[in-house]
């Protein structure tokens, strides 16, 4: 494993807060270094540029002096040049033939030989390309040269400028900036670590809560802050997910409990009749037939219950497939009502109206939904009662009503009739109605899957009307 890959592996193993801190500190350090470097260049230019300007200005002034004294060349004296030099600039004039310094504006200034003995081979980046720089003690000395020729005689003018206070200030500034960079990086690490840990607290809470959550223990929730940032939104979403999960678990528990109760009843009846047959034998054929008939009836009820449970289980898992296509609703209603009249002899079953209409849906489940409402009407309507069905088109909708003259539904129960395993209280029943309480739940799912809305109007003792609003199929 290479060094780079090893570093990446170690960084990937860090906590998110550590990664954020390192990233933030690295960005801050780079920004700080760039700013300080720009400051360093700016201060360097501000300090050394005036020194260069004073030498350059002095050279221009000296040229003017040479022009003015050109006729009296032999009278050149240091006093004639001192007024042309900017304060701090020292000039020496050397005869190129003899090497003698015959003009020196400051005899106490370091000699030319000493200057070249301490010449810097790598001058500072801010120095002029044709200038020379020497380090004398703690000072930098600039030197610029200029040749002058008169009547065949050439002399070299040396201009010196010492930078001492500026250099000391600049050295102090460099030290200060280095310390500032170090303190800034350390401070950024501390501040970044503090805020990253504080900001990521909800995520740590989510992690700890997720570890504690079990099927039997789901009461914990993440505290929501007053801000509306992404982390609070994440915490709120997580809490909502837990609420939905808790609700789903509660429904599952109730579903299992209710299903177990419903299955226990027919199983107990069947077991009881089997024990009766085993105890009293088969001598009485009439009694045996009655017992077998009851056992068969309970077995059919159990089978119907299991089929309903399997249907609801598939819907909960989104595995119930619907084969939707264009259907003639009037043909479906007519066929279902015809079979209903054949089977039901204890009630008056009427088809009041059945306008031709096309819908887009699954034929099997649409038939099942209509039969559920009809079976429910028969179940809760006393013998001799009336059950009527009407279908008519209103705009782009079909209104299908299933009405009965049964016992009706109490107002307190209207909001519960589509709940699984819900059945009307026994005191409200006129006759004993068998059922698992799953039919209307299945019908509601089928309706929702087809975009059908269900309205219920009921009055106790006078009957119930279910109105289904079904979208008309659009012609292609």
Overall residue count recorded for the chain in this entry: 476
**pLDDT value, residue 23:** 73
**pLDDT value, residue 64:** 80
- Residues 176-226 have pLDDT tens digits of 778 877 887 788 777 777 777 777 777 777 777 777 665 556 666 767 766
Distance CA(317)–CA(308), nearest Å, equals 14
Distance CA(64)–CA(57), nearest Å, equals 11
**pLDDT value, residue 215:** 53
**pLDDT value, residue 73:** 53
What percent of the chain has a predicted confidence (pLDDT) above 90? 20
**pLDDT value, residue 83:** 75
Q: Please compute the mean of the pLDDT values over residues 352-369 and round it to a whole number.
A: 92
Degrees to nearest 5, angle at CA 333 with 331 and 339: 100
**Fold match between domain 230-316 and domain 324-471:** no
- Residues 415-424 have pLDDT tens digits of 888 887 777 6
Distance of CA 415 to the CA centre of its chain: 37
Least reliable range by pLDDT among 209-213, 257-261, 317-321, 322-326: 257-261
What percent of the chain has a predicted confidence (pLDDT) above 70? 78
Distance CA(61)–CA(59), nearest Å, equals 5
In the structure, what pLDDT confidence band is assigned to residue 432 with cuts at 50, 70 and 90?
very low
Distance CA(185)–CA(171), nearest Å, equals 21
Predicted confidence (pLDDT) at residue 170 exceeds the cutoff of 60: yes
**pLDDT value, residue 454:** 94
- Residue spans of the domains in the chain: they are 3-186, 230-316, 324-471
Distance CA(390)–CA(402), nearest Å, equals 7
In the structure, what pLDDT confidence band is assigned to residue 374 with cuts at 50, 70 and 90?
very high
Predicted confidence (pLDDT) at residue 152 exceeds the cutoff of 60: yes
**pLDDT value, residue 433:** 47
Alpha carbons within 13 angstroms on the beta-carbon side of residue 169 total 10
> What is the maximum alpha-carbon separation in the chain?
163
Most confident of 6-20, 79-93, 276-290: 79-93
- Residues 48-70 have pLDDT tens digits of 677 788 888 888 888 887 777 66
Q: Please compute the mean of the pLDDT values over residues 340-369 and round it to a whole number.
A: 92
Degrees to nearest 5, angle at CA 176 with 170 and 181: 125
Distance of CA 209 to the CA centre of its chain: 19
Q: What is the chain's Cα-based Rg?
A: 51
Predicted confidence (pLDDT) at residue 16 exceeds the cutoff of 70: no
**pLDDT value, residue 261:** 59
In the structure, what pLDDT confidence band is assigned to residue 426 with cuts at 50, 70 and 90?
very low
Least reliable range by pLDDT among 61-75, 328-342, 383-397: 61-75
**pLDDT value, residue 430:** 43
- Residues 216-275 have pLDDT tens digits of 566 667 677 666 666 677 778 878 887 887 777 777 776 666 666 566 767 777 787 777
**pLDDT value, residue 125:** 67
Distance CA(319)–CA(362), nearest Å, equals 15
3-state secondary structure the chain: CCHHHHHHHHHHCCCHHHHHHHHHHHHHHHHHHHHHHHHHHHHHHHHHHHHHHHHHHHHHHHHHHHHHCHHHHHHCCHHHHHCCCCCCEEEEEEECCCCCEEEECCCCCCCHHHHHHCECCCCCCCCCCCCEEEEECCEEEEEEEEEEEECCEEEEEEEEEEECHHHHHHHHHHHHHHHHHHHHHHHHHHHHHHHHHHHCHHHHHHHHHHHHCECCECCCCCCCCCCCCHHHHHHHHHHHHHHHHHHHHHHHHHHHHHHHHHHHHHHHHHHHHHHHHHHHCCCCHHHHHHHHHHHHHHHHHHHHHHHHHHHHHHHHCCCCCCCEEEEEHHHHHHHHHHHHHHHCCCCEEEEEEECCCEEEEEHHHHHHHHHHHHHHHHHCCCCCCEEEEEEEEECCEEEEEEEECCCCCCHHHCCCCCCCCCCCCHHHCCCCCCCCCCHHHHHHHHHHHCCCEEEEEEECCCEEEEEEEEECCCCC
Which of the listed CATH numbers 3.90.1300.10, 3.40.50.970, 1.10.287.130, 1.10.10.10 matches domain 230-316? 1.10.287.130
- Rounded mean pLDDT of the chain? 79
Distance of CA 385 to the CA centre of its chain: 59
Least reliable range by pLDDT among 20-29, 68-77, 270-279: 68-77
Buried b (16+ CB within 10 A) or exposed e, 397-413: bbbbbbbbbbbbbeeeb
- Indicate the pairing of strand 348-354 with strand 386-394: parallel
**pLDDT value, residue 405:** 93
Neighbours of 4 (CB within 10 A): 8
**pLDDT value, residue 79:** 66
pTM of the model: 0.51
In the structure, what pLDDT confidence band is assigned to residue 172 with cuts at 50, 70 and 90?
confident
Least reliable range by pLDDT among 30-34, 107-111, 370-374: 30-34
Q: Please compute the mean of the pLDDT values over residues 319-343 and round it to a whole number.
A: 90
Q: Please compute the mean of the pLDDT values over residues 75-82 and round it to a whole number.
A: 64
Which of the listed CATH numbers 3.40.50.2300, 3.30.565.10, 3.40.50.1000, 3.30.950.10 matches domain 324-471? 3.30.565.10
Most confident of 12-21, 53-62, 149-158, 328-337: 328-337
């Amino acid at each position: 494993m290479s060094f780079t890959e090893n570093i990446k592996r170690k960084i990937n193993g860090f906590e998110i807060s550590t990664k954020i801190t390192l990233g933030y500190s690295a960005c801050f350090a780079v920004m700080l270094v760039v700013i300080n470097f720009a400051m360093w260049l700016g201060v360097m230019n501000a300090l050394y540029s005036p020194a260069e300007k004073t030498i350059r200005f002095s050279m221009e002034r000296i040229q003017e002096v040479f022009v003015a004294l050109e006729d009296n060349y032999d009278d050149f004296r240091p006093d004639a040049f001192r007024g042309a030099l900017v304060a701090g600039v020292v000039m020496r004039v050397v005869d190129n033939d003899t090497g003698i310094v015959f003009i020196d504006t400051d005899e106490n200034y370091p000699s030319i030989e000493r200057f070249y003995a301490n010449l810097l081979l790598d001058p500072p980046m801010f120095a002029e390309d044709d200038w020379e720089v020497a380090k004398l003690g703690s000072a930098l000395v600039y030197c610029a040269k200029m040749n002058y020729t008169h009547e065949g005689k050439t002399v070299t003018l040396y201009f010196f400028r010492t930078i001492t206070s500026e250099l000391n200030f600049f050295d102090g500034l460099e030290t200060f900036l280095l310390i500032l960079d170090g303190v800034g990086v350390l401070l950024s690490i501390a501040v970044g670590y503090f805020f990253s840990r504080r900001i990521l607290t909800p995520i740590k809470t989510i992690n700890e809560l997720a570890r504690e959550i079990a099927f039997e223990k789901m009461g914990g929730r993440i505290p929501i802050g007053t801000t509306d940032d992404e982390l609070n939104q994440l915490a709120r979403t997580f809490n909502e997910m837990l609420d939905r999960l808790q609700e789903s678990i509660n429904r599952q528990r109730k579903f299992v409990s209710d299903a177990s109760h419903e299955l226990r009843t027919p199983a107990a009846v069947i077991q009881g009749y089997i024990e009766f047959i085993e105890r009293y034998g088969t001598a009485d054929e009439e009694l045996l037939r009655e017992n077998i008939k009851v056992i068969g009836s309970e077995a059919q009820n159990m089978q119907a219950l299991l089929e309903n449970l399997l249907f609801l289980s598939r819907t909960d898992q989104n595995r119930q497939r619907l084969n939707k296509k264009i259907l003639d609703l009037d043909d479906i209603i007519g066929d279902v009502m015809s079979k209903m009249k054949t089977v039901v002899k204890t009630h008056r079953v009427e088809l009041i109206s059945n306008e031709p209409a096309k819908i887009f849906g699954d034929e099997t489940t649409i038939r099942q939904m209509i039969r559920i409402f009809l079976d429910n009407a028969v179940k809760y309507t006393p013998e001799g009662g009336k059950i009527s069905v009407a279908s008519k088109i209103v705009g782009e909708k079909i209104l299908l009503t299933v009405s009965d003259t049964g016992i009706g539904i109490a107002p307190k129960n209207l909001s519960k009739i589509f709940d699984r395993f819900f059945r009307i209280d026994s005191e409200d029943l006129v006759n004993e109605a068998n059922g698992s309480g799953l039919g209307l739940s299945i019908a509601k799912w089928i309706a929702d899957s087809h975009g059908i809305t269900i309205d219920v109007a009921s009055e106790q003792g006078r009957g119930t009307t279910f109105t289904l609003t079904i979208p008309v199929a659009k012609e292609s």
